[in-house]
Amino acid sequence: YIQLMALQERNETLFYRIIIDNVAEMMPFIYTPTVGEACQKYGHIFQRPHGMYISIEDKGSVREIMDNWPFQNVEVVVMTDGERILGLGDLGTYGMGIPVGKLNLYTACAGIHPDRTL
């Protein structure tokens, strides 16, 4: 998981080429079951931010926060409150690996450009 996410940061095109060409073999690494363990350890393996975090303290400012997203033509959004992640319980922000993994699969399997995801 760590190696794949590092590859995604270094060379997103190569990352998706590997996933697309080997989707059956790679799916367990970018989604379940591996992502469950990665989420449990997310705070320890975190390298670079993915996604957008909005907390209860942001109430009333969500639109302004969304306007800061660098891509304007978002087509797919995956959201989570971090509760009951894969039956693991409330992982809070550590659960970010789930929406990130889902969006990686949407790109690899459905052809949605990564810049059009949030």
Active site residues per annotation: 31, 102
Nearest to 113 by CA among 79, 51, 71: 71
Half-sphere exposure of 12 (CA within 13 A, CB side): 7
Q: Which helix (H) or strand (E) holds 106?
A: helix 97-110
- One-letter amino acid at 91 equals L
